Amino acid sequence: MLDICLLGTGGMMPLPYRWLTAMMARCDGSNLLIDCGEGTQIALKEKGWSPKPIDIICFTHYHADHISGLPGLLLTMGNAERTEPLTLIGPKGLERVVGALRTIAPELPFELKFIELSENREQITMAPYVIDAYRVNHNVVCYGYSISIPRTGRFDVDRAKSAEIPQKFWSRLQKGETIDFDGRILTPDLVLGPDRRGLKVTYCTDTRPVPVIAEYAKDADLFICEGMYGEDGKEAKAREYRHMTFYEAARLAKEAQPRQMWLTHYSPSLTRPEDFMDKVREIFPRAKAARDAWTLELEFDEE
């Protein structure tokens, strides 16, 4: 199971009723955070989720509304007696940016590990997550992320027997282990059927609509996408500042066909996002105007 919480839905500045955009994923005891704007740890506290188990933080880019909450979060994690390393992922320059922010959080009881993205597309596997980072089109270097939980095929007794695999190794192979036995390398594919459909959440903010977003959002269980503006007449502003309107996001979803889409990263001037959703749903019926602390529990398909 994969738990998703959209901690905040605001862009540019936190508001009394809307925290800045950040998303938390939880799976198999491992937590992953995407972005950490001002107020993120308050949103976590309101949700009742602890920051201590966070293993990975991914940053889309380094504008303040996406990273300024990091020093306080790190201090809170340290005060919770965390000692395990924390991995930070983001565009090139990550270690320099975090180093500057840590001027006010210089001493931590855990190690920070940095993975800096430099290619247009990169894939990283950590804990239960397969993290796909893809370059989008903002006025600074910015990435979107797809977070996937793969699912192996079912154990196939006939396949194992035909490959003459000793039964004592079946369980270990089913769990993904590779075994060296009597000069022979036994691999999981010898006892498993085809991979089954896993889980996928695609997240992007601060970008113009570009084809790569729909590519990574294709058939996602959840597509969380920037909708900076819903009002008519904002198209030129969206182009100038390299953001998206509700309707541009909906057209990406129409192409990608995720199971559902949540709009997020609203302009501070956009006080009632739901007012614009009828027009959005004419383009993509499974679209929703997300609100802070929305949570979704994703489970593998029944078979």
Query: Is 5:23 a contact under the CB 8 Å cutoff?
Result: yes
Backbone torsions φ then ψ of 189, nearest 5 degrees = -65, -15
Query: Is 295:10 a contact under the CB 8 Å cutoff?
Result: no
Catalytic, 65? Answer: yes
Place of tokens 């990574």: 216
Cα distance between residue 58 and residue 34, in whole Å: 5
Cα distance between residue 143 and residue 208, in whole Å: 12
Among candidate residues 35, 65, 206, 292, the one labeled active-site is 65
Q: What are 145's strand-pairing partners?
A: 133, 203
Place of tokens 């993205």: 117
Q: What are 22's strand-pairing partners?
A: 8
Query: Is 6:40 a contact under the CB 8 Å cutoff?
Result: no
Q: Where are any strands of DSSP class E within the chain?
A: 2-8, 22-27, 30-34, 54-58, 86-91, 112-117, 121-126, 129-135, 143-151, 179-181, 184-186, 196-204, 222-226, 261-264, 287-289, 294-298
Task: Identify residue 206 by its one-letter amino acid code.
Answer: D
Cα distance between residue 2 and residue 34, in whole Å: 15
| CA distances to 4, 206, 219, 238, 289 from 209, in Å | 24, 10, 18, 10, 18
Q: Which residues are catalytic?
A: 65
